[in-house]
Amino acid sequence: APRPLAPGQAPGYRGLTLLLTFLCYTSYHLSRKPISIVKSQLHRNCSAAERRDGSNGTGDCSWAPFDGDNYKELFGALDNAFLVAYAVGMFVSGIFGERLPLRYYLSSGMLLSGLFTALFGLGYFWNIHVLWYFIIIQSAFGLGTPPRRSGRSAGPSRRRGLIMGIWNSHTSVGNILGSLIAGAWVSSAWGLSFVVPGVIIASVGLICFFFLVEHPEDVGCSPPLHHADPEEKEADGGAAEEGPPLSSSRASLEPKEGAEEPAAISFLGALRIPGVVEFSLCLLFAKLVSYTFLYWLPLYIVNVAHFGAKEAGDLSTLFDVGGILGGIIAGLVSDYTGGRATTCCVMLVVAAPMLFLYNYIGQNGIGTSIAMLIVCGGLVNGPYALITTAVSADLGTHESLQGNAKALSTVTAIIDGTGSVGAALGPLLAGLISPTGWNNVFYMLITADVLACLVGARVPKVSTICGERGIRGGLLPKREEITAGRSQGEAPGKPLIRRDVGRRSGGCRWHPR
């Protein structure tokens, strides 16, 4: 058994876990970004090169097989090869993530992802012009994404929105770094735009293998589902006569030698948790919009604003800067109001007209373009970040699961997997629609945003008001589970009393089951 931690050490381990998982997923997104930057180099506007070289306009400056008139369809197929495999991998990852050592699973996925990212770039140095080579590499890369259980289970639920909003900025940070790294070589040797990110993600995978703490109990920390906030402890003081103190209840919840390990939840069991289906569909449409921007925004800027490949890649990072701000703001607002679904819906409603405005006035000047990209990035990625982190953690620790931490991977895999279907559809539809005009692509994105809002509005809520600043209309009530009259010698399994605790005072009580 691990030694008990000295006072103050537990937050350090939780912070280390958040930092390492942040670096892991930052490197994942960093390795996915180069393809969107390199697209404008694989199929170039050769007019400038023709004027310099005096060539006859044969289009030799592009990279076969992407040098034909059907290049947008080929780019769409390339994106979908990754995203369909990614969607399948997300569903499967939750099942394997509950049953395999997470540290091995995460590290091996990162090493393989680094290998396939580098292999894509080596196609430049090996002079490969076969479409199926790039499609197979993209498909294999898409299967390697692991579940996000480690980062999502860290931190108390009262501040979960803020903590996870900051943690989930790895998506935008990775996209920004990926754009800058890929842009450094896109015009000279685009193969390095993939090889360098591949080396980075493999290196971070090795770091996580040696230093990531897989389970809190391994270093003497209490499980994340059983943390109590100081305000909740204070609020519980006035109700001590109705149950045993939290300290004793925590002791009763600590794993005992010989205790039965909780079974992994089934796929259908996870679907029955209130809100899982609704938030999964909401994420499907939200991710459709986000990933369309991820894969097509640099090319849109090149075609519409007539920037070069490097300048378009640099400008597209502003969308991810807005994503960082949007994720943090969404987490703060949802923590304060307790309304995860309401926060998502409001941001999605505002995002639709902003996308319309960006398409029509976003290229009128560099200042307008910068402002609109940041605003659109925050409104599009804010709900996406909130659903994939704080909401998934809330649903994975739902009261019906009786503290079964193993359910978190299945719930997050269902939500992420469904969202990844949208991530696959978005770039595919953009590739099919863009030849008819970029306006039609934006109409498709606006429609998806509206559908995400309509689905999110159907999320069931628990309208509970406990104390002065209790939970007001949030998705889930705050919860402490205590043992109902269980003495040290009694067998486990006796029904528990569920008690909802207000922030400033004792509040609502759930009756024994």
| Of 154, 117, 124, nearest in space to 393 by CA | 154
Query: Higher confidence at residue 51 or residue 13?
Result: 13
In the prediction, which pLDDT does 53 show?
Answer: 47
Residue with tokens 């091995």: 104
In the prediction, which pLDDT does 188 show?
Answer: 87
What radius of gyration do the chain's Cα atoms show?
A: 24
99 lies in a domain?
yes
Same domain, 400 and 505: no
Binned at pLDDT 50, 70 and 90, residue 127 comes out as very high
Same domain, 330 and 399: yes
Same domain, 327 and 244: no
229 lies in a domain?
no
Query: Distance between CA 509 and CA 426 in Å, rounded?
Result: 45
Structure tokens belonging to residue 227: 């943390």
In the prediction, which pLDDT does 7 show?
Answer: 54
**Which of 137-141, 293-297, 406-410, 497-501 bottoms out in mean pLDDT, i.e. has the lowest?**
497-501
Residue 482's DSSP bridge partners are 497
Query: Higher confidence at residue 394 or residue 513?
Result: 394
* % pLDDT > 70, the chain: 65
In the prediction, which pLDDT does 447 show?
Answer: 95
Same domain, 157 and 277: yes
* 3 state DSSP class of 136: helix
**CB 296, CB 470: distance < 8 Å:** no
Instruction: Give every CB contact of residue 486 below 8 A, 6+ residues apart in sequence.
Output: 252, 492, 494
In the prediction, which pLDDT does 487 show?
Answer: 42
In the prediction, which pLDDT does 389 show?
Answer: 73
In the prediction, which pLDDT does 313 show?
Answer: 86
In the prediction, which pLDDT does 260 show?
Answer: 53
Query: Distance between CA 250 and CA 225 in Å, rounded?
Result: 11
Same domain, 492 and 443: no
In the prediction, which pLDDT does 474 show?
Answer: 38
Structure tokens belonging to residue 196: 């360098």
For residue 426, pLDDT beyond 80: yes
Same domain, 367 and 499: no
In the prediction, which pLDDT does 338 show?
Answer: 76
- Mean pLDDT for 366-383 is 92
463 lies in a domain?
no
In the prediction, which pLDDT does 374 show?
Answer: 95
Same domain, 196 and 241: no
For residue 301, pLDDT beyond 70: yes
For residue 425, pLDDT beyond 50: yes
Long-range contacts of 210-218 (CB under 8 A, 24+ apart): 211/16, 211/20, 212/17, 212/20, 212/21, 212/24, 212/103, 212/106, 212/107, 212/150, 213/13, 213/16, 213/17, 214/101, 214/102, 214/103, 214/150, 216/13, 216/14, 217/2, 217/255, 218/2
Sign of the alpha-carbon torsion through 427, 433, 436, 442: negative
In the prediction, which pLDDT does 471 show?
Answer: 35
Containing structural domain, residue 486: 234-252+468-509
Same domain, 306 and 387: yes
For residue 100, pLDDT beyond 80: no
In the prediction, which pLDDT does 357 show?
Answer: 94
How many Å separate Cα 286 from the centre of its chain?
12
For residue 433, pLDDT beyond 80: yes
For residue 410, pLDDT beyond 80: no
Same domain, 149 and 179: yes
3 lies in a domain?
no
Binned at pLDDT 50, 70 and 90, residue 494 comes out as very low
Instruction: Determine how many CB atoms are found less than 10 A away from the CB of residue 460.
Output: 9
In the prediction, which pLDDT does 206 show?
Answer: 94
How many Å separate Cα 169 from the centre of its chain?
9
* % pLDDT > 90, the chain: 26
- Mean pLDDT for 399-406 is 54
- Mean pLDDT for 147-171 is 65
Q: What is the pLDDT of residues 179-212, one digit of tens each?
A: 999 999 988 899 999 999 999 999 999 998 988 8
In the prediction, which pLDDT does 50 show?
Answer: 52
Last residue within a domain, chosen from 430, 456, 482? 456
For residue 151, pLDDT beyond 60: no
Same domain, 159 and 240: no
53 lies in a domain?
no
- Mean pLDDT for 125-148 is 86
- Mean pLDDT for 257-276 is 65
The listed range with the strongest mean pLDDT (273-282, 349-358, 382-391) is 349-358
In the prediction, which pLDDT does 158 show?
Answer: 59
- Mean pLDDT for 155-161 is 59
2 lies in a domain?
no
Q: Which residues of 242-257 are buried (b: 16+ CB within 10 A; e: fewer)?
A: ebeebeebbebbeeee
For residue 258, pLDDT beyond 70: no
Query: Distance between CA 103 and CA 293 in Å, rounded?
Result: 31
For residue 131, pLDDT beyond 70: yes
For residue 472, pLDDT beyond 80: no
Last residue within a domain, chosen from 429, 456, 483? 456
Q: What is the pLDDT of residues 107-124, one digit of tens each?
A: 888 999 999 999 999 999
| Domain harbouring 21, CATH code | 1.20.1250.20
Task: Please state the domain count of the chain.
Answer: 2
In the prediction, which pLDDT does 502 show?
Answer: 38
56 lies in a domain?
no
140 lies in a domain?
yes
Same domain, 381 and 502: no
How many Å separate Cα 404 from the centre of its chain?
22
Same domain, 152 and 90: yes
Binned at pLDDT 50, 70 and 90, residue 242 comes out as very low
In the prediction, which pLDDT does 489 show?
Answer: 44
Query: Higher confidence at residue 259 or residue 133?
Result: 133
Instruction: Give every CB contact of residue 190 below 8 A, 6+ residues apart in sequence.
Output: 38, 41, 42, 63, 121, 124, 182
Q: What is the pLDDT of residues 77-92, one digit of tens each?
A: 888 888 888 878 877 7
Binned at pLDDT 50, 70 and 90, residue 147 comes out as low
For residue 249, pLDDT beyond 50: no
At 245, the amino acid letter reads P
Query: Higher confidence at residue 493 or residue 364?
Result: 364
